[in-house]
Structure 1
Amino acid sequence: MTDKELHRIRMIENVIDRRLSGTQAARRLGITARHLYRLVSRYKTDGAESLLSERRGKPSNRSYPDELRSQVIAVIREHYYDFGPKLVSEKLSHLHAIHLAVETLRRWMTAAGIWVPHSQRKPRIYQPRQRRDCLGELIQIDGSHHDWFEGRSPKCCLLVFIDDATGKLMHLHFSETESTFDYLAATRRYIELHGRPVAFYSDRHTIFHVSKRDAHTDRITQYGRALQELNIELICANSSQAKGRVERANKTLQDRLIKEMRLEKINTIEEANGWLPYFIADFNDRFAKVPKFPKDLHRPFVGDACDMDDTFAWHDTRVLSKSLTFQYDKVLYLVEPTEENSRLAGETVKVLDYPDGRIAVMYGDRSLDCQVFDKLAEVDQGQIVENKRLGAVLSFAQQKQDEMDRADQRSRSKKMPKRRAQIRALGRNPALD
């Protein structure tokens, strides 16, 4: 019996024993006196069981048929076994013409073992991971977006490199954004200072990781390609807790670093990047740990400055047309029509886009000389006639005159690095330098 039914029986017994009047008992039970005396009569004749509802144990008149419930569960098991009740309700309504309330589906799916309510799920356990053994074995990297200059300059991003074995800040670098070129520049500086570590440990940002929806593309990012050429392993964490050392360092830096820069009257990214080595040295003296083994696993970079430039450039590929031309970033490039290059029509070349805006074209290990025909700049018709090499694109230029007159209203490709737009604003074309 329920508590309500037990309370009703006690009130009826009090009326029978004359401890309460019928009016008082009816008022306490919220029923009329006539109905109370009807219950008293039933209790005297058939006992307490006569007061129970005759509908107990029977299905509700508003319940759905068992056949419908079995049909819905079968459909869910076949097509929507990993869907939530809300999404299942939408799919059943749109695709199967079955209209059911979300809570009804939640009860059915829970009873069938398809859905586990959040309150009944076991919490995930994140056990602490031991530090690595040696310096340079694992370097955690992350970008922290924050108002680092407290309004004295626009908000920016701090790229943090911290050693897992010692907790040392290996490198800090302020940048306006968290882009591939920013990480490439910071990583290059890291390697110049310390050498090549065994592995970098990052989150699943698109700079480091290619998601499943982009599976049709190459399964490696520009940053991953650069590390692969340097023989450095790139490991992506599955959660923020997994790279907790750099996450905690970000929180500490957002407190200490901001206040230190305020005391030093540092107001710009350039000033901060010049002063950061002093902060890193002081921070490591205070908080760095001694590694389990003293060996430093950093390896020196093998190669010259040109090799490093090529490694940390943006790599892309293009196919040469029959006239030895290709387009990159809305610019038409013309390869020198030498006898050796004339056989490259239809071949794939590699375009190296350097952070400073320079463009290099490679076919295998051979560098190709090329001229630029910029579709975004206004065309000087006399220069086209004078430059015999641009004759192959003269007809193309004439067709695009109207577009070129509105060059100041057009922008570069959104897929290209933003720093190319900044270089364009300087009024020069680095590819011709």
Structure 2
Amino acid sequence: MRKIILTPSEHNKYDVIKAVVNNRKSIRRASVELGLCERSIRRLRLQYLSQGKLAFQHGNHRLHTQLKFNKDVKNKIVNLYLTKYNGFNIKHFSEFLNNEEQLNISYSSVLKILTARHVVSPKTQRKTKRRIRKELETKQYQRLLSKREEATYQAVQDVEAVKAHPSRPRKKYFGELVQMDASQEIWFGAHKSFLHLAIDDRTGQIIGAYFDEQETLKGYYQVLSQILESYGTPVEILTDRRTIFDYKRKAHPNTTSDTLTNFGYACSTLGTKLSTTSIPQAKGRVERVFETLQSRLINEMFLKNIQNIEDANTFLINNFIPKFNQQFGLPIKSTMDVFSGQMKSKDIEMALITMEERTVDRGHCISFENKTWSLNNQDHQVMLPHKTKVEVVKTFLNNYYVTFDDRILRMMEVLPVEPVSKEIDYQPSKPRIVKQIPKLTHPWRRDNRKRFEHNHQLAFAIMNG
């Protein structure tokens, strides 16, 4: 005989009706205890007499729902998570199951399947780790752990303490504060690289990003150029206290002239306030985004097999950031935009510059970036005296100039050897460009002529009635 299993509520109803049948309780008393009318109590009593305990079991018991995943689908999900999508958090994994693997499944279902198999996510909370550890300890005592469960048991042994970051309100307007920082990580390939990032404090959207081999001024200039071209000039930029942004001599810490770096000069030119801090929690918005990117961006670039900086920057700008802002960022239209007007590439080139001092040598040239440069005004070289101090200006698009006594001179590289000999090497003559005038029979000229003649005849007919 098949064993009948009841839920606690069904078992309570069975005990009460059984007492009524055995005359240990009245129908009115059973009606009060179960919250049913007396007619329902009499109906249940008749069902008990005809079917016994089976009358109290729900009709859908042991029936399989069509929404339930079969064992093969569950095994496929677990294998995908442990192999192809290893290192993904469960939320990110469920998104790829729906978009890439064409499995229509919710996040809660994926979480339930993986949790039942004791598969933990890199983002698993401490409470969940403790619960899984207790369950696996019981199985370990009974020597029932599989190899995968043994690896999981070792992973949940150490539970990290919670990192406390004090919360603060967001800024009121879009563009009021931009947080900048860089993070070193093995983002792609086998070597570490730096991701330069800019986050708007109000919306949490990524408004600039750039990969580079080192954390340099070039990387931050690339990020700032994206902001200026796409949004405009922000009110304030908050960064960490590096010499790229803030520099003070130890001997003269109060000298204001030492604190204006190239990046600081660019912000001063744009009218943007530059603030620095040595406390990571002060710019917690960008720190938290880096934590999300280390979980998502690394895995997505691994799936795309990205191995170099050029491909990484292309994927970052064209694919990842628009999707990230749509999913995690607050809508820009929900607040006022206080960015100034967007800048053209020519204006950006002249705003994001690098300035360094150089000394003119005996050959009336200067050395810069391991090259020798002559100073030119229009089409002839300017001969400045030996040991003259000049200021080299390198623009964002790698054009070189020199400033001297309110004069701007163009720099031209002096090659160690002439590429072409004017006396010996053959110099091909430049073809003479002859301006071609189309004939009257040319299609577009013929149409214009016919249109003119038609209009002239029409005007003549109107004037002469």
- Which residue is 1:306 aligned to? 346
Is the 1:185–1:312 Cα contact (8 Å) retained in structure 2? Answer: no
- Which residue is 2:327 aligned to? 286
User: Matches of 1:129 and 1:279 in 2, distance apart?
Assistant: 28
- Which residue is 1:148 aligned to? 187
Letter in 2 for 1:186: V
Output aligned runs, 1:6-21, within 5 Å: none
User: Matches of 1:285 and 1:138 in 2, distance apart?
Assistant: 20
State the shift of 1:274 in Å.
1.3
Matching residue within 207, 211, 228 for 2:268: 228
Is the alpha carbon distance of 1:246 and 1:347 closer, same or farther for their aligned partners in structure 2, counting shifts above 3 Å? same
State the shift of 1:319 in Å.
4.9
Identity rate of aligned residues, in percent? 30
Is the 2:204–2:285 Cα contact (8 Å) retained in structure 1? Answer: yes
Matching residue within 135, 150, 156 for 2:174: 135
- Which residue is 2:238 aligned to? 201
Q: Are residues 1:265 and 2:311 paired?
A: no
Offset from partner CA, 1:195-234 (integer Å, 9 cap, x none): 1111111111221111443759732111111111111111
State the SS of the aligned residue for 1:161.
strand
Q: Are residues 1:328 and 2:374 paired?
A: no
Letter in 1 for 2:247: V
State the shift of 1:359 in Å.
2.3
User: Matches of 2:308 and 2:391 in 1, distance apart?
Assistant: 37
State the shift of 1:184 in Å.
0.9
Is the 2:241–2:276 Cα contact (8 Å) retained in structure 1? Answer: yes
State the SS of the aligned residue for 1:360.
strand
Offset from partner CA, 1:350-407 (integer Å, 9 cap, x none): 2122466542223366432455456xxxx559x99x9xxxxxxxxxxxxxxxxxxxxx
Is the 2:365–2:375 Cα contact (8 Å) retained in structure 1? Answer: yes
State the SS of the aligned residue for 1:280.
helix
- Which residue is 1:351 aligned to? 392
User: Matches of 1:306 and 1:288 in 2, distance apart?
Assistant: 30
- Which residue is 1:183 aligned to? 220
Q: Are residues 1:159 and 2:196 paired?
A: yes
Is the 1:134–1:292 Cα contact (8 Å) retained in structure 2? Answer: no
Is the 1:169–1:280 Cα contact (8 Å) retained in structure 2? Answer: yes
Quote the RMSD (CA, aligned, Å): 3.6
Is the 2:207–2:226 Cα contact (8 Å) retained in structure 1? Answer: no
State the shift of 1:313 in Å.
2.6
State the SS of the aligned residue for 1:266.
coil
Is the 1:133–1:291 Cα contact (8 Å) retained in structure 2? Answer: no
Is the 1:310–1:352 Cα contact (8 Å) retained in structure 2? Answer: no
- Which residue is 1:367 aligned to? 408
Offset from partner CA, 1:101-151 (integer Å, 9 cap, x none): xxxxxxxxxxxxxxxxxxxxxxxx9742211001111011110100112xx
Is the 2:206–2:321 Cα contact (8 Å) retained in structure 1? Answer: yes
Letter in 2 for 1:141: M
Is the alpha carbon distance of 1:260 and 1:228 closer, same or farther for their aligned partners in structure 2, counting shifts above 3 Å? same
Query: Which consecutive unaligned segments of at least 5 residues does structure 2 have?
Result: 1-163, 424-465
Q: Report how many residues are paired.
A: 254
Q: Output the TM-score relative to the length of structure 1.
A: 0.51
Is the alpha carbon distance of 1:254 and 1:349 closer, same or farther for their aligned partners in structure 2, counting shifts above 3 Å? same
State the SS of the aligned residue for 2:250.
helix
User: Matches of 1:248 and 1:207 in 2, distance apart?
Assistant: 23
Letter in 2 for 1:359: Y
Offset from partner CA, 1:263-294 (integer Å, 9 cap, x none): 33333222221122322222222222357962
Offset from partner CA, 1:134-193 (integer Å, 9 cap, x none): 1111011110100112xx242211111111111112222211211111211221122111
Q: Are residues 1:246 and 2:283 paired?
A: no
State the SS of the aligned residue for 1:213.
coil
Is the 1:163–1:170 Cα contact (8 Å) retained in structure 2? Answer: yes
Offset from partner CA, 1:30-87 (integer Å, 9 cap, x none): xxxxxxxxxxxxxxxxxxxxxxxxxxxxxxxxxxxxxxxxxxxxxxxxxxxxxxxxxx
Is the 2:228–2:348 Cα contact (8 Å) retained in structure 1? Answer: no
User: Matches of 2:383 and 2:177 in 1, distance apart?
Assistant: 47
User: Matches of 2:303 and 2:413 in 1, distance apart?
Assistant: 49
Query: Which consecutive unaligned segments of at least 5 residues does structure 1 have?
Result: 1-124, 387-433
Is the alpha carbon distance of 1:193 and 1:290 closer, same or farther for their aligned partners in structure 2, counting shifts above 3 Å? closer
Offset from partner CA, 1:336-359 (integer Å, 9 cap, x none): 599x99796476532122466542
User: Matches of 2:266 and 2:302 in 1, distance apart?
Assistant: 36
Is the alpha carbon distance of 1:296 and 1:364 closer, same or farther for their aligned partners in structure 2, counting shifts above 3 Å? farther
Letter in 2 for 1:287: F
State the SS of the aligned residue for 2:218.
helix
Is the alpha carbon distance of 1:344 and 1:148 closer, same or farther for their aligned partners in structure 2, counting shifts above 3 Å? same
Is the alpha carbon distance of 1:126 and 1:334 closer, same or farther for their aligned partners in structure 2, counting shifts above 3 Å? same
Letter in 2 for 1:136: G
Letter in 1 for 2:174: L
- Which residue is 1:295 aligned to? 336
- Which residue is 1:69 aligned to? none
User: Matches of 1:373 and 1:131 in 2, distance apart?
Assistant: 53
Is the alpha carbon distance of 1:217 and 1:331 closer, same or farther for their aligned partners in structure 2, counting shifts above 3 Å? farther
Letter in 2 for 1:230: L
User: Matches of 2:297 and 2:412 in 1, distance apart?
Assistant: 47
Letter in 2 for 1:236: T
